Amino acid sequence: MAGITPEAGQQLRAVATLRRQLVLNSLRSVRGRMNLVSRSIAGLLVIAAGLGGGLALGATAWELTRTHKLEWLAAFFWIVFLFWQFFPVMATAFTQNIDTSALLRFPLSYKTYFLVRLAMGTLDIATALGLFWSFGLAIGVSAAAPRLIPWVITAVLAFIAFNVLLARAIFVWIEHWLSRRRSREIMGLLFFVLMIAFQFIGPALDHYSKRPASQRFGYVAKVAPVQRAFPPGLTSRMIAAADRGNSAGALGALILLIVYSGAALSLLHLRLRQQYRGDNPEGNATSSPKSADSTVRWGWKLPFFSGPVSAVFEKEIRYFSRSGPMLFTMIMPLVVILLLWGGRKSFLQHQSEFFFPIGAGYCLLVMTNVVYNSFGADGGGIQSFLIAPVTFRQVVFAKNLAQFAVLVVEVAILLLGVSLIYRPPHVVFLVLTFCWYLFAAPINFGVGNLLSLYSPKKIDYAVFGRQRASETTIFASLAVQLVVMGIGALAIFLGYEYADYWLGTLVLAVLAIPAIVAYLILMRRIDRIVMTRREVLATELCKA
Amino acid sequence: MESADASLLWYARILVEAAILTENLTRRFGEFTAVQDVNLQVETGQFYGFLGPNGAGKSTTIKMLTGLMAPTSGRMQILGLDLATHMVDVKRQIGVVPEGMALFGRLTGSEYLNFVGRMYGLERAVAAQRAAELLDFMELMDHPKTLITDYSHGMQKKLAMAAAVIHGPKVLFLDEPFEGVDAIASNTLKAMLQRMISRGATIFLTSHVLEIVERLCTHVGIINNGKLVAQGSLDELRSGIADETSPGERMSLEEFFLKTVGGPRTAAQELSWLG
């Protein structure tokens, strides 16, 4: 810890102890222990992915080094780089960070604060896998050409340093933008565009893979010089230059890599310095345009439903329309339609009859976030439900109704899109999808309601990188989705095997009956469950 | 025989038109007893201040009285209705500003009041009209499109208060209603509470600020270490009637409070290293 004062060292140790204590204290509750089990499974998966990926990349690097095709290493450094930078942004559900900015009230020097933010933030899945894979590449090259070891180690360490610094810089800047509601909404839109862009990677690769080899290599030849100017390309360039004995070239690439790392460091420093000085705009901004209006619009009234159910339904729809992630859920069918439109002449053209059921399944899958932690966005508002003179069954039912209404709208848009792009789905696929929904929706809503009550987690849109649901919820929802999707796929397979899709439809219709009955039984017991869970719900969702 | 006597006593207390009545109200968290054998009696029309040091059991008690938390043992009656068996009926007649204010951050003030009004069974038109009146009274009408999450703390407190009264409750429970509220907002809230009392409502509030309780409340209960250590009208407590150790002695609420729950530490206990 050279350059760190004894006081700073003590503070860093205190923060590390705090983190350890937080983990240990979380084990006091059953939920905490269940989360530990889920986290351990996730940890094992990460280790498996890290070791497996590292081994595969190592073997590839070894082969490329042996055959003196080291420039191709760039492709793998790019994969590692893209994963390292985008995974934490896209999969916040699997990352957990403590709010280290709260440490600002203690007499920490800026250097200590910087180190804490850097160290604590790097204990995530992306960094772990990035490290495994980078070292895998380094070991592969070193094993094939031991004379390159000093160069490889230097290049990979510089690459790792750049990635760690850039990932942290992106994280703190996004956190800063998300702390303002307006910029949060703009960020939500950008994320949405980015997610759509990701959906097109598959079709695009498929599209270009059908081009003649000469044309494909032409594209690569165009891209190669450009990518070489960026850190993943520079890392590979440095190793390749060293392999050719071009030390000057290798040093040049290293210097550029260090410059990039310096730029990332400056970005990180700029934001953390602002934060250290107190520029934390998480406070309230009440400077909205003042236009006094002495009337208040009437609330919604749903036909056939009571006032409280209508009120909760209205509240849910307003919440949907005002949050980025939920809005993303609502416009999912547009993404599916865009995908279909993108692939209409290529990879999808022979499976057009499955578009509608697959798209509908995708819509339900995306709703998981909302259904399995349905009180998460309510935060302290949960107490409004608990103190109101209504049965909780009405509240949960209204929430499910709103979620189902969103699904119906999504599926209707999907149906319209599929009909316009190709042709209206055959009636058997319409009925099959309908029956699958009758089976899958009650199961999802039922299990989702239970997990929402037993494993609630407050969703705070003002912070970035916190989990959207508990680990238990994530794993349980994945398991349920696997089952319902698997049964849907089996029903389609059955229809395909016997050349009669009505058979699969019948199976789903039969399965829908126990699913609906189970949902209704659960709803009858909801109030009893809430009476025993109300304190946990209020405590968990009212957390500051 | 003893339990029969206890039941008789319980029903006798109910006859006294108690708005809030508890018998041996107890709440344990594992080994820790947060509230122990609390017997509250708040009569209709009283402005009751519930005082106690931090961690004394104030919030736990108010949570139990409003149905947010289950008691480990004991009985509770609100307006003559047993909370264990008539939870929804009781909730219909009470208003609550809980500790976390119970707001939905991504609704506007008017949307939230509309929502709460309808949860309490008000017609849409009535809910909208009362929401408009309350927003006007609380001086929140200038921010029709602002989301609650963007309100200041004081504005949120005023909105939570408005939501608690939109259905015209007979009993109002307020957990630290003046915490973090500026003097102007505080005056608005006090005016509204006084008006409710003058119209026959019952108010039960917890507060750390003794001056507020002294100025607003007619009756006070003091809880310490989970036990109700004093209860009575403000005058009774001030004149020492409720204090058996020094009958007849007149003292301020603060003096009485400190005497009851334990005064400041002695010089010997002071921190020697502190400037």
Query: Please, which residues bridge with residue A493 across strands?
Result: none
Query: Please, which residues bridge with residue B76 across strands?
Result: B22
Task: Give contacts of B 173-212 with A, CB under 8 A.
Answer: none
Q: Is the pLDDT confidence value at A441 over 90?
A: yes
| Region A230-258 average pLDDT | 92
Of the pLDDT bands very low, low, confident and very high (cuts 50, 70, 90), residue A200 is low
Residues of B in contact with A294 (CB under 8 A): 132, 136, 141
Percent of chain A at pLDDT exceeding 70: 79
The model carries a pTM of 0.73
User: Residue B63 has which token pair?
Assistant: 């949570």
Q: Going residue by residue through chain B (275 aa), what tens digit of pLDDT does each one get?
A: 556 666 666 665 655 568 999 999 999 988 899 999 999 999 999 999 999 888 899 999 999 999 888 899 999 999 999 998 998 899 999 999 988 888 988 889 999 999 999 999 899 999 999 999 999 988 888 877 888 988 988 899 999 999 999 999 999 999 988 887 888 888 888 888 988 999 899 999 998 778 888 888 999 999 999 999 888 888 887 776 555 566 556 677 788 888 888 766 555 566 778 76
Given this model, what pLDDT does residue A422 score?
77
User: Residue A252 has which token pair?
Assistant: 């040049």
Candidate from A298, A383, A542 with C-beta closest to B125: A298
Whether A384 and B146 lie within 8 Å, measured CB to CB: no
Given this model, what pLDDT does residue A276 score?
82
CA dist., res. A153 & res. A166, Å (int)? 20
Whether A311 and B111 lie within 8 Å, measured CB to CB: no
Top-confidence residue, A281 or B236:
B236
- Domain B2-262: give its CATH architecture: 3-Layer(aba) Sandwich (3.40)
Given this model, what pLDDT does residue A94 score?
43
Q: Tell me, yes or no, if B227 comes closer than 8 A to chain A by beta carbon.
A: no
pLDDT in tens, A65-80: 988 888 889 999 999 9
Candidate from B106, B115, B129 with C-beta closest to A323: B106
Q: Is the pLDDT confidence value at A295 over 50?
A: yes
Cβ contacts of residue A362 below 8 Å, gap of 6+?
Answer: A332, A336
Whether A311 and B115 lie within 8 Å, measured CB to CB: yes
Candidate from A293, A391, A538 with C-beta closest to B68: A538
Of the pLDDT bands very low, low, confident and very high (cuts 50, 70, 90), residue A180 is low
Of the pLDDT bands very low, low, confident and very high (cuts 50, 70, 90), residue A1 is very low
Place of tokens 């999450």: B149
Given this model, what pLDDT does residue A519 score?
96
Buried b (16+ CB within 10 A) or exposed e, B189-221: bbebbeebbeeebbbbbbbeebebbbebbebbb
Whether B124 and A301 lie within 8 Å, measured CB to CB: yes
Backbone phi and psi for residue B39, each to the nearest 5 degrees, phi listed first: -115, 95
User: Residue A392 has which token pair?
Assistant: 């909780």
Given this model, what pLDDT does residue A95 score?
47
Given this model, what pLDDT does residue B183 score?
84
Whether B147 and A377 lie within 8 Å, measured CB to CB: no
CA dist., res. B258 & res. B229, Å (int)? 12
Nearest CA in chain B to A288: B146
Whether B141 and A292 lie within 8 Å, measured CB to CB: yes
Of the pLDDT bands very low, low, confident and very high (cuts 50, 70, 90), residue A89 is low
CA dist., res. A483 & res. A477, Å (int)? 10
Given this model, what pLDDT does residue A286 score?
46
DSSP calls for A230-241: SHHHHHHHHHHH
Q: Is the pLDDT confidence value at A288 over 60?
A: no
| Region A216-222 average pLDDT | 70
Whether A381 and B67 lie within 8 Å, measured CB to CB: no
CA dist., res. A221 & res. A253, Å (int)? 20
ipTM, two decimals, is: 0.80
Given this model, what pLDDT does residue A195 score?
65
pLDDT in tens, A443-453: 999 999 999 99
Spatial CA neighbour of B119 closest among B169, B172, B68: B169
Of the pLDDT bands very low, low, confident and very high (cuts 50, 70, 90), residue A192 is low
Residues of B in contact with A181 (CB under 8 A): 147, 149-150
The mean-pLDDT minimum among A56-60, A387-391, B11-15, B104-108 falls in B11-15
Q: Minimal Cα–Cα distance from A307 to chain B, Å?
A: 6
Sign of CA dihedral B98, B104, B105, B108: negative
Cβ contacts of residue A502 below 8 Å, gap of 6+?
Answer: A428, A431, A495
Ramachandran sector of residue B41 (left: φ over 0; alpha: ψ -120 to 50; beta: rest): beta
Given this model, what pLDDT does residue A6 score?
76
pLDDT in tens, A354-370: 888 888 888 888 887 78
Integer-rounded Cα radius of gyration of chain A: 27
Given this model, what pLDDT does residue B10 score?
60
Backbone phi and psi for residue A245, each to the nearest 5 degrees, phi listed first: 80, 10
Q: Tell me, yes or no, if B170 comes closer than 8 A to chain A by beta carbon.
A: no
Of the pLDDT bands very low, low, confident and very high (cuts 50, 70, 90), residue A134 is very high
pLDDT in tens, B67-124: 888 899 999 999 999 998 998 899 999 999 988 888 988 889 999 999 999 999 899 9
Top-confidence residue, A378 or A216:
A378
Residues A77 and A232: beta-carbon distance below 8 Å: yes
Q: Is the pLDDT confidence value at A427 over 50?
A: yes
Q: Minimal Cα–Cα distance from A540 to chain B, Å?
A: 12
Cβ contacts of residue B87 below 8 Å, gap of 6+?
Answer: B67
CA dist., res. B11 & res. A214, Å (int)? 95
DSSP state of B243: -
Q: Minimal Cα–Cα distance from B211 to chain A, Å?
A: 28
pLDDT in tens, A326-338: 666 666 677 777 7
CA dist., res. B65 & res. A427, Å (int)? 57
How many beta-carbon pairs under 8 angstroms link A with B? 155
Sign of CA dihedral A370, A89, A184, A275: positive
Of the pLDDT bands very low, low, confident and very high (cuts 50, 70, 90), residue A348 is low
Q: Is the pLDDT confidence value at A101 over 80?
A: no
Residues of A in contact with B96 (CB under 8 A): 383, 387
Given this model, what pLDDT does residue A340 score?
67
Top-confidence residue, A200 or A316:
A316
Residues A92 and A465: beta-carbon distance below 8 Å: yes
